[in-house]
Amino acid sequence: MSTADTTQRGNTETTNDLTNRVTELLNEEKWTRATLKNYTVANFQELDKLLEEIRSNELEDDILALCNEHLQHTKNSLIALYLSGLIRISRQTVDDSNLVSLIEIFKDNHKWRIVSYLCERILSFGENRFALRTLAEAYDNENQTDKRYEVWERLIRVDFDEADIVKQLAEYKEANDQPEDAVNYYKKALHRYINKKSFSNIKEIWHKLIKQCPNETEFFYHAERKIAKQISEDRAVQLLEDLYPYFRDTAHWDTAIAILKRILTYDPRNPWARKEIIECYRQKFAHHSHLEEYIKVSNLNQTWRNVHDAIADFEKHISFDAGNFVYHRSWGVGLIREIDDDDEITIDFVKKRGHTMSLKMAVNALTVLSKDHIWVLKTTRKKDRLKQEVKKNPAWALRVVIKSLGNAADMKQIKAELVPSVLTQSEWSTWSTRARELLKTDEQFGNVPDRLDSYSVREQPITLEEKIYNRFKAERSFFDRAKTIEEFLRYAGQGEGAIDNEFFREMLDYFVAFLKQSYETNEYTLASFLIVDRIVTEYPYLQPNAALDFPTVFYQLNDPERAFKAIANSNLKRQCLAKIRRHIDNWDDLYVRFFPHFLTRDIIRELKGAGLDDQLTALYRRVVERYRDLREAFIWLARNVEDERWYDRIGLSYEKVLINMIHIVELTFRDIENRRDVSENRKINRQAQNFLFKEKRIEWFIDEADEEPIQRIYTLLEDIEALSPTIKLELKNRILIRFPSFRFYGGQSRETINRGGFIVTASSYNQKQRDLERIHNVEVPKNSKEIAAAREYGDLRENAEYKAAKERQDQLNNEVAKLEEDLRRATMIRPHEVDPSAVTFGTKVTLFDKEQQQRVSYTILGPWESNPDEGVISYQSPLGHELYNHKVGEDLHFVINERTYSFHVEGIQVADFE
């Protein structure tokens, strides 16, 4: 018997032995009806050893089938429940029902040590709500309080709906003198009770937080907005009224006034809030000599006056006080010197000192500025000193500018305040990069709600998680939000900590809501499934309370191809293809249809790997037959699968590939001219031209093909008016090198000077070509990167970097257009083509100047080569024009610009040029 036979026999015996052992255990349990009281943790530890043998011999499927069959007639079999449950959960499936049933059996019989052991076994494979909750209950029954709280801390990280336990954890931390942890748990509990709309609990925790962290007003305001939206504005007002007394009693008048304003925003007719805000103003401005007068003038204490108008009126009046700065649109920044008893204000403006005006006029004509307003600093500080401060401390500069602009500013507005009055344009480029990073990561800066590109200065620090969450809320596009939640998971933290907050839960719920709606299944439903499924795969303990079954979602789509095309996220498209491959029977047909909407080698690789050559051929043929509509897909195939000669599969010649590509160039030029999808068509046009010319496919074809197909290809190119004349001339010359007698239908010989054209040397022509290539290959890509980078800065209508980059783009386009037009008009002459029998282009003429009685020489070339200081003149110049076509021995007399010339032609020769 061979070694292989011996090994196989040994494996078979092991397999049969393990299967028989499990069968005997099941039957023995069934026959003897073992009671629960005989079970201990040791019994399950023995089963764990057996399970290790089962795994090492790869018998999980056999044993699972055996246990499932046994459970059909013995549903409470402890061994079958345990073995099958662990096999299933080890495969990361969500089906833990057998283990749950097993735990319930021991719970009902108060076998808490076994319950604990079983829960720990489940948790060894990952966090599980049922196991955590049950384990906490077991510890509670065994009076292991500390362990129970430890388990609760794990539970609330995976159960976002649990609020009562969070509250108990907060109380536990508070009782154990851990105030910071207590506050964090109270905050978490508050958010969860808001989601449950449990106002009694909300109010209780609100009061606790007022005692423990009253100054965290940003948190209270955020919670208040949620309560107003999810419960009612009246409840929000009630809580703000409870928050207000702390700031009144501690004389924090600005915050007290801010809270009262928020109350009056919800309830403008609230008499208590109106009365309180007047008292706060009296306390804040107690030393202002005109306080009561301004309260009276603004009608702040008159209920008939709109409270918000009255507040604005009062605050504008009260801000006019000696020592304050003001701004006038004509006179700039000024300092209030005094206000007399007749309400006349004296102001020292930079260019108008001692100016007086009435208070009434000042209120309408002036804007009051704080002492640290950017306009005040630019007026009162030396420019060099201010520049150094701005460059040295960008965070300080951002705070100053943003606050100066009403605590809401975007980068365009910030730039307008600093350039060129403080920073130069080049200094701004460096400074703004640092500033953007600070705005994104520094905890003192936040986003303005509902204004994606605007920033504010926070009273309390803001976490990176909250910043990303605020941007998520401000996004209006579904796929922008999909990108933002990806960023949250990537940057906000790794592991469980990344999702252990209410911000993540709200973002996740946004996508879960699409899975729960039933009126339409579309690209948003499909993308939401992919997002939620990926998150749940990474964090299996999350339970979104929505069905996560890909076939169900996919088959409900009315138009799967349209839905796939509409997914504006390449990662989600790749994920979708993987799901289709795994779960959809006709995946290969879908891959063929979806390919034009996601150009990737993965599709071709999967079809090829599955041996589906017919489907590959169908994919190629579909793209070729519809190349006018599937332009980008055709270019992608031609460029990326060329080494496989895919066109041979469908009987397509390489000449036909080039003809289709040339047609795409023509179609896109036409669409650009008609202003149809200009950006997209420019991109496709550039791709097609790169394939043909930059990657030298046409040059290769000219070098290898016969004259007749070259004639067809060149004629198509010549007919495209928008195609660069440089390209046409280069190809024409290349053709003539190989076929000197080549006939260009409809064209002219290269020696002919077109109407309006001119003659140049080859070296000048080549230099202009290099200039054109430099613009195309260096300047244009550089400018494209500048435009792309500027787009990231935000609103294109108010984006100075974007406008500057677009102006540079226009400049480059004009340079390209001029160069291409000049090259189109230019005709090259080489030295061997020059006829020295007369003065023409490329000749050097020697003259005797009768007026000056001296011999002079001129080289006659074109406008690109002209250099009068070196004796090189253009044949198009007035002097060149007069000399042109004259021969040796002739006498010439002419006048240019009132100067008389008299020459005798002594000699003509071919000039030295390239």
pLDDT tens profile 659-669: 999 999 999 99
The residues, any chain, with a CB within 8 Å of residue 169's CB and separated by 6 or more, are 149, 152, 153, 156, 185
766-804 exposure pattern, b = at least 16 Cβ within 10 A, e = fewer? eebeeebeebbeebbeebeebbeebeebbeeebbbbbee
Q: Where are the alpha helices (H) located in 690-793, listed in sequence order?
A: 697-704, 707-718, 725-738, 762-774, 780-791
Under DSSP, is residue 506 helix (H, G, I), strand (E, B) or coil? helix
* Among 760, 191, 906, 149, CA closest to 504: 191
The residues, any chain, with a CB within 8 Å of residue 467's CB and separated by 6 or more, are 440, 446, 447
pLDDT at residue 479 is higher than 90: yes
pLDDT at residue 751 is higher than 60: no
Q: Give the residue carrying structure tokens 């300092």.
A: 335
Query: Cβ(738)–Cβ(703) under 8 Å?
Result: yes
The pLDDT value recorded for residue 92 is 67
Q: Look at 131-140, 415-424, 640-649, 686-695 and tell me which has the smallest mean pLDDT.
A: 640-649
Tokens linked to 657? 């590939």
DSSP conformation class of 287 = T
Alpha-carbon dihedral sign for residues 5, 10, 14, 16: positive
pLDDT at residue 5 is higher than 70: no
Q: Which strands sit side by side in the sheet containing 891-896, from one edge to the other? A: 872-874, 854-861, 843-849, 899-910, 891-896
- Cα distance between residue 804 and residue 817, in whole Å: 20
pLDDT at residue 750 is higher than 70: no
* Among 188, 135, 183, CA closest to 157: 188
**Angle of CA points 484, 487, 489, to nearest 5°:** 115
Q: What is the dihedral of CA 285, 288, 290, 293, to 10 degrees?
A: 20
Peptide bond into 420 cis (omega under 30): yes
The pLDDT value recorded for residue 557 is 92
- β-bridge mates for residue 874, sequence order: 861
Query: Cβ(606)–Cβ(578) under 8 Å?
Result: no
The pLDDT value recorded for residue 749 is 38
pLDDT tens profile 641-661: 866 678 888 888 999 999 999
- Cα distance between residue 385 and residue 56, in whole Å: 75
The pLDDT value recorded for residue 492 is 57
For residue 722, which phi and psi values (nearest 5 degrees)? Answer: -80, -10
Tokens linked to 385? 């000193």
pLDDT tens profile 380-403: 999 999 999 999 999 999 999 999
pLDDT tens profile 252-290: 999 999 999 999 999 999 999 999 999 999 999 998 878
- Cα distance between residue 160 and residue 314, in whole Å: 46
Under DSSP, is residue 562 helix (H, G, I), strand (E, B) or coil? helix
The pLDDT value recorded for residue 14 is 63
Q: Give the residue carrying structure tokens 């230019």.
A: 826
pLDDT at residue 129 is higher than 60: yes
The pLDDT value recorded for residue 268 is 94
Please provide the average confidence, as pLDDT, over all residues in the chain.
87
- Cα distance between residue 578 and residue 382, in whole Å: 63
Mean pLDDT confidence for 841-861: 92
- β-bridge mates for residue 367, sequence order: 327
Under DSSP, is residue 905 helix (H, G, I), strand (E, B) or coil? strand
How crowded is residue 825: how many other Cβ atoms within 10 Å of its Cβ? 15
Higher per-residue pLDDT: 527 or 642: 527
The pLDDT value recorded for residue 794 is 55
Tally of residues, the chain: 914
The pLDDT value recorded for residue 591 is 96
Strand pairing category for 891-896 and 899-910: antiparallel
pLDDT tens profile 499-526: 667 788 889 989 998 988 767 889 999 9
* Among 327, 351, 347, 329, CA closest to 337: 347
pLDDT tier, 835 (very low <50, low <70, confident <90, very high otherwise) = confident
Strand pairing category for 355-358 and 344-349: antiparallel
- Cα distance between residue 355 and residue 336, in whole Å: 10
pLDDT at residue 737 is higher than 90: no
Q: Which of 228-242, 281-295, 488-502, 896-910 has the highest mean pLDDT?
A: 228-242
Q: What is the dihedral of CA 436, 441, 444, 446, to 10 degrees?
A: 70
pLDDT tier, 741 (very low <50, low <70, confident <90, very high otherwise) = confident
pLDDT tier, 31 (very low <50, low <70, confident <90, very high otherwise) = very low
Under DSSP, is residue 303 helix (H, G, I), strand (E, B) or coil? coil
Q: To which H or E segment does residue 614 belong? A: helix 613-625
Exposed, middle or buried, 258 (CB in 10 Å: 0-12/13-18/19+)?
middle
pLDDT at residue 8 is higher than 50: no
Mean pLDDT confidence for 408-426: 91
Full DSSP string of 418-440: HTTTTS-HHHHHHHHHHHHHHHH
Mean pLDDT confidence for 486-507: 71
Percent of the chain having pLDDT more than 90? 52
Mean pLDDT confidence for 363-379: 90
Tokens linked to 102? 């097993």
The pLDDT value recorded for residue 7 is 41
pLDDT tier, 239 (very low <50, low <70, confident <90, very high otherwise) = very high
pLDDT at residue 901 is higher than 70: yes
Task: Tell me the helix, strand and coil percentages in the chain, rounded to 5.
Answer: 65, 10, 25
Tokens linked to 539? 């964090």
Crossing angle of the two packed helices 613-625 and 601-609, in degrees rounded to 10: 150
Tokens linked to 583? 């779960």
Query: Cβ(536)–Cβ(548) under 8 Å?
Result: yes
Query: Cβ(843)–Cβ(908) under 8 Å?
Result: yes
The pLDDT value recorded for residue 194 is 94
Under DSSP, is residue 645 helix (H, G, I), strand (E, B) or coil? coil
Q: Give the residue carrying structure tokens 């000399």.
A: 883
Q: Give the residue carrying structure tokens 């609100």.
A: 206
Mean pLDDT confidence for 685-693: 94
The pLDDT value recorded for residue 754 is 42
For residue 142, which phi and psi values (nearest 5 degrees)? Answer: -100, 10
Query: Cβ(69)–Cβ(80) under 8 Å?
Result: no
pLDDT at residue 32 is higher than 80: no
Q: Give the residue carrying structure tokens 């103003």.
A: 281
pLDDT tens profile 244-261: 999 999 999 999 999 999
Cα distance between the two ends of the chain: 88
The residues, any chain, with a CB within 8 Å of residue 91's CB and separated by 6 or more, are none
Query: Cβ(802)–Cβ(817) under 8 Å?
Result: no
pLDDT tens profile 48-61: 999 999 999 889 99
Q: Where are the alpha helices (H) located in 267-306, listed in sequence order?
A: 271-284, 291-297
pLDDT tens profile 550-594: 999 999 999 999 999 999 999 999 999 999 999 999 999 999 999
DSSP conformation class of 100 = H
Residue type, 542: L
Strand pairing category for 826-829 and 355-358: unpaired
Percent of the chain having pLDDT more than 70? 93
The residues, any chain, with a CB within 8 Å of residue 736's CB and separated by 6 or more, are 742, 750
